[in-house]
Chains A and B, each alone.
Chain A
Amino acid sequence: EILLTQSPATLSVSPGERATLSCRASQSISSNLAWYQQKPGQAPRLLIYRASTRATGISGRFSGSGSGTEFTLTISSLQSEDFAVYYCQQYNDWPPYTFGQGTKLEIK
Protein backbone atom coordinates (compact mmCIF):
# COMPACT_ATOMS: atom_id res chain seq x y z
CA GLU A 1 0.00 0.00 0.00
CA ILE A 2 1.34 3.42 -0.95
CA LEU A 3 1.69 5.80 1.97
CA LEU A 4 1.17 9.51 1.39
CA THR A 5 2.68 11.89 3.93
CA GLN A 6 1.44 15.47 3.93
CA SER A 7 3.30 18.35 5.51
CA PRO A 8 2.88 20.38 7.49
CA ALA A 9 -0.04 19.03 9.51
CA THR A 10 -1.20 22.60 10.14
CA LEU A 11 -0.25 25.69 8.18
CA SER A 12 -1.02 29.20 9.42
CA VAL A 13 -1.08 31.85 6.70
CA SER A 14 -2.47 35.36 6.47
CA PRO A 15 -5.13 36.25 3.90
CA GLY A 16 -3.56 37.52 0.71
CA GLU A 17 -0.39 35.48 1.18
CA ARG A 18 0.66 32.28 -0.58
CA ALA A 19 0.33 28.79 0.89
CA THR A 20 2.45 25.82 -0.13
CA LEU A 21 1.35 22.33 0.88
CA SER A 22 3.43 19.20 0.34
CA CYS A 23 2.61 15.55 -0.28
CA ARG A 24 5.24 12.81 -0.40
CA ALA A 25 4.57 9.29 -1.67
CA SER A 26 6.31 6.20 -0.29
CA GLN A 27 7.09 5.10 -3.86
CA SER A 28 6.76 6.59 -7.30
CA ILE A 29 3.20 7.29 -8.42
CA SER A 30 4.10 9.05 -11.68
CA SER A 31 1.66 11.99 -11.94
CA ASN A 32 -1.33 10.05 -10.61
CA LEU A 33 -2.11 12.41 -7.78
CA ALA A 34 -5.19 14.45 -6.93
CA TRP A 35 -5.85 17.18 -4.38
CA TYR A 36 -9.14 17.76 -2.55
CA GLN A 37 -10.39 20.52 -0.29
CA GLN A 38 -12.72 19.80 2.62
CA LYS A 39 -14.49 22.37 4.75
CA PRO A 40 -16.10 21.49 8.09
CA GLY A 41 -19.34 19.58 7.66
CA GLN A 42 -18.93 19.36 3.90
CA ALA A 43 -17.90 16.71 1.42
CA PRO A 44 -14.47 16.94 -0.16
CA ARG A 45 -14.16 18.90 -3.40
CA LEU A 46 -11.82 17.95 -6.22
CA LEU A 47 -9.24 20.67 -6.97
CA ILE A 48 -6.43 19.11 -8.99
CA TYR A 49 -5.79 15.80 -10.77
CA ARG A 50 -2.89 14.41 -12.81
CA ALA A 51 -0.79 16.38 -10.32
CA SER A 52 -1.33 19.70 -12.10
CA THR A 53 -4.66 19.75 -13.98
CA ARG A 54 -7.29 21.96 -12.37
CA ALA A 55 -10.75 20.48 -12.11
CA THR A 56 -13.68 22.21 -13.75
CA GLY A 57 -14.59 25.47 -12.05
CA ILE A 58 -11.51 25.65 -9.83
CA SER A 59 -9.89 29.06 -9.44
CA GLY A 60 -6.55 29.72 -11.10
CA ARG A 61 -5.21 30.57 -7.64
CA PHE A 62 -4.84 26.81 -7.12
CA SER A 63 -1.93 25.11 -8.83
CA GLY A 64 -0.32 21.71 -8.48
CA SER A 65 3.09 20.43 -9.39
CA GLY A 66 5.37 17.45 -9.00
CA SER A 67 5.79 13.89 -10.17
CA GLY A 68 7.24 10.66 -8.88
CA THR A 69 7.21 11.00 -5.09
CA GLU A 70 7.14 14.74 -4.39
CA PHE A 71 4.11 16.93 -4.98
CA THR A 72 3.04 20.45 -4.10
CA LEU A 73 -0.25 22.32 -3.97
CA THR A 74 0.14 26.09 -4.09
CA ILE A 75 -2.62 28.53 -3.31
CA SER A 76 -1.76 32.09 -4.24
CA SER A 77 -3.29 35.13 -2.58
CA LEU A 78 -5.33 33.27 0.04
CA GLN A 79 -8.96 34.20 0.43
CA SER A 80 -11.17 33.53 3.44
CA GLU A 81 -12.94 30.65 1.68
CA ASP A 82 -9.63 28.82 1.14
CA PHE A 83 -9.12 28.00 4.80
CA ALA A 84 -9.93 24.31 5.02
CA VAL A 85 -8.32 20.88 5.17
CA TYR A 86 -6.51 19.67 2.06
CA TYR A 87 -5.95 16.03 1.14
CA CYS A 88 -3.75 14.50 -1.51
CA GLN A 89 -4.75 11.13 -3.00
CA GLN A 90 -2.85 8.68 -5.20
CA TYR A 91 -4.53 6.63 -7.89
CA ASN A 92 -1.49 4.94 -9.33
CA ASP A 93 -1.66 1.69 -7.38
CA TRP A 94 -4.69 -0.41 -6.50
CA PRO A 95 -5.54 -1.79 -4.04
CA PRO A 96 -6.14 0.53 -2.47
CA TYR A 97 -6.08 4.10 -3.65
CA THR A 98 -4.92 6.08 -0.65
CA PHE A 99 -5.25 9.55 0.82
CA GLY A 100 -2.76 11.58 2.81
CA GLN A 101 -3.62 12.45 6.39
CA GLY A 102 -4.48 16.04 5.46
CA THR A 103 -3.09 19.53 6.00
CA LYS A 104 -5.22 22.03 7.87
CA LEU A 105 -4.83 25.52 6.44
CA GLU A 106 -5.77 28.07 9.07
CA ILE A 107 -5.92 31.81 9.27
CA LYS A 108 -2.88 33.44 10.87
Chain B
Amino acid sequence: EVQLVQSGAEVKKPGESLRISCKASGYSFTNSWITWVRQMPGKGLEWMGRIDPTDSYTNYNPSFQGHVTISVDKSTSTAYLQWNSLMASDTAVYYCARRLTMVQGVLDYWGQGTLVTVSS
Protein backbone atom coordinates (compact mmCIF):
# COMPACT_ATOMS: atom_id res chain seq x y z
CA GLU B 1 0.00 0.00 0.00
CA VAL B 2 1.36 3.39 -1.02
CA GLN B 3 1.68 5.75 1.93
CA LEU B 4 3.10 9.21 2.45
CA VAL B 5 3.41 9.98 6.15
CA GLN B 6 4.23 13.54 7.11
CA SER B 7 5.79 14.92 10.27
CA GLY B 8 3.67 16.52 12.95
CA ALA B 9 2.37 20.03 13.46
CA GLU B 10 4.86 22.79 14.20
CA VAL B 11 4.61 26.14 15.98
CA LYS B 12 7.42 28.57 15.19
CA LYS B 13 8.33 32.22 15.56
CA PRO B 14 9.05 34.54 12.65
CA GLY B 15 12.67 34.28 11.55
CA GLU B 16 13.11 30.72 12.77
CA SER B 17 14.05 27.83 10.51
CA LEU B 18 12.07 24.67 9.96
CA ARG B 19 12.21 21.40 8.04
CA ILE B 20 9.19 19.15 7.67
CA SER B 21 9.27 15.64 6.28
CA CYS B 22 7.32 13.21 4.14
CA LYS B 23 8.22 9.51 4.39
CA ALA B 24 7.17 7.33 1.48
CA SER B 25 6.48 3.62 1.56
CA GLY B 26 4.78 0.95 -0.50
CA TYR B 27 6.43 1.81 -3.81
CA SER B 28 9.84 2.49 -5.31
CA PHE B 29 10.67 5.97 -4.06
CA THR B 30 12.77 6.90 -7.07
CA ASN B 31 9.98 6.07 -9.54
CA SER B 32 7.86 9.16 -8.87
CA TRP B 33 8.49 12.83 -8.34
CA ILE B 34 7.37 14.28 -5.00
CA THR B 35 5.49 17.59 -4.97
CA TRP B 36 4.75 19.99 -2.12
CA VAL B 37 1.43 21.86 -2.04
CA ARG B 38 0.47 24.72 0.28
CA GLN B 39 -3.02 25.42 1.63
CA MET B 40 -3.34 28.61 3.63
CA PRO B 41 -6.14 28.77 6.22
CA GLY B 42 -9.52 28.62 4.51
CA LYS B 43 -7.93 28.93 1.07
CA GLY B 44 -7.21 26.81 -2.00
CA LEU B 45 -4.26 24.75 -3.13
CA GLU B 46 -0.94 26.11 -4.42
CA TRP B 47 1.73 24.05 -6.16
CA MET B 48 5.05 24.94 -4.52
CA GLY B 49 7.57 22.75 -6.27
CA ARG B 50 8.63 19.21 -7.02
CA ILE B 51 11.67 16.99 -6.86
CA ASP B 52 12.86 13.94 -8.74
CA PRO B 53 14.15 11.57 -6.04
CA THR B 54 16.43 9.89 -8.57
CA ASP B 55 18.83 12.81 -8.83
CA SER B 56 17.28 15.52 -6.61
CA TYR B 57 16.46 17.70 -9.61
CA THR B 58 13.95 20.32 -8.50
CA ASN B 59 11.42 22.66 -10.11
CA TYR B 60 9.98 25.54 -8.08
CA ASN B 61 6.92 27.70 -8.56
CA PRO B 62 8.47 31.18 -9.00
CA SER B 63 6.25 32.39 -6.17
CA PHE B 64 8.14 30.13 -3.75
CA GLN B 65 11.60 30.10 -5.36
CA GLY B 66 14.27 31.27 -2.95
CA HIS B 67 12.03 31.03 0.12
CA VAL B 68 11.81 27.24 0.46
CA THR B 69 14.08 24.32 -0.34
CA ILE B 70 12.89 20.87 -1.36
CA SER B 71 15.19 17.90 -0.87
CA VAL B 72 15.15 14.12 -0.51
CA ASP B 73 17.06 11.38 1.28
CA LYS B 74 16.88 8.31 -0.91
CA SER B 75 18.28 6.10 1.83
CA THR B 76 15.18 6.70 3.96
CA SER B 77 12.66 7.40 1.16
CA THR B 78 11.94 10.77 2.70
CA ALA B 79 11.28 14.15 1.14
CA TYR B 80 11.75 17.44 2.94
CA LEU B 81 10.48 21.00 2.75
CA GLN B 82 12.67 23.56 4.47
CA TRP B 83 12.57 27.23 5.40
CA ASN B 84 15.57 29.24 6.64
CA SER B 85 13.53 32.19 7.86
CA LEU B 86 9.83 31.75 8.45
CA MET B 87 7.27 34.52 8.10
CA ALA B 88 3.79 34.77 9.55
CA SER B 89 2.44 34.34 6.02
CA ASP B 90 3.95 30.83 5.94
CA THR B 91 1.18 29.70 8.28
CA ALA B 92 -0.56 26.95 6.34
CA VAL B 93 -1.06 23.24 5.90
CA TYR B 94 1.59 21.70 3.70
CA TYR B 95 0.97 18.51 1.76
CA CYS B 96 3.41 16.25 0.01
CA ALA B 97 2.08 14.21 -2.88
CA ARG B 98 3.34 11.64 -5.35
CA ARG B 99 3.18 11.99 -9.09
CA LEU B 100 0.85 9.60 -10.88
CA THR B 101 2.95 7.11 -12.79
CA MET B 102 3.58 8.20 -16.38
CA VAL B 103 1.51 11.38 -16.03
CA GLN B 104 3.66 14.35 -15.13
CA GLY B 105 1.79 16.89 -13.08
CA VAL B 106 -0.97 14.71 -11.63
CA LEU B 107 -0.88 13.80 -7.93
CA ASP B 108 -2.33 10.42 -7.00
CA TYR B 109 -1.26 9.86 -3.39
CA TRP B 110 -1.09 12.56 -0.76
CA GLY B 111 0.31 12.83 2.73
CA GLN B 112 -2.00 13.75 5.59
CA GLY B 113 -0.68 17.30 5.76
CA THR B 114 1.51 19.19 8.22
CA LEU B 115 0.15 22.31 9.89
CA VAL B 116 2.79 24.99 10.30
CA THR B 117 1.89 27.95 12.51
CA VAL B 118 4.20 30.96 12.55
CA SER B 119 3.40 33.49 15.24
CA SER B 120 5.29 35.77 17.55
Bound pair: A and B?
Answer: yes
Beta-carbon contacts of A6-28 to B below 8 Å, as 1s and 0s?
A: 00000000000000000000000
Q: Are A101 and B105 in contact (CB under 8 A)?
A: no
Interface on A for B, CB 8 Å cutoff? Answer: 32, 34, 36, 38, 43-46, 49-50, 55-56, 87, 89, 91-92, 94-102
Q: In the bound complex, how far is the Cα of B106 from the Cα of A32, in angstroms?
A: 9
Q: Which of A87, A92, A97 contacts B44 (CB 8 A)?
A: A87
Could you tell me which B residues sit within 8 Å of A by CB distance? 37, 44-47, 59-63, 95, 97, 100, 103-108, 110-113
Assess the A95–B45 pair: CB atoms within 8 A. no
* Chain A binding surface, main DSSP class: loop
Known: A45-B110, A46-B106, A94-B105. A99 touches B45 (CB 8 A): yes
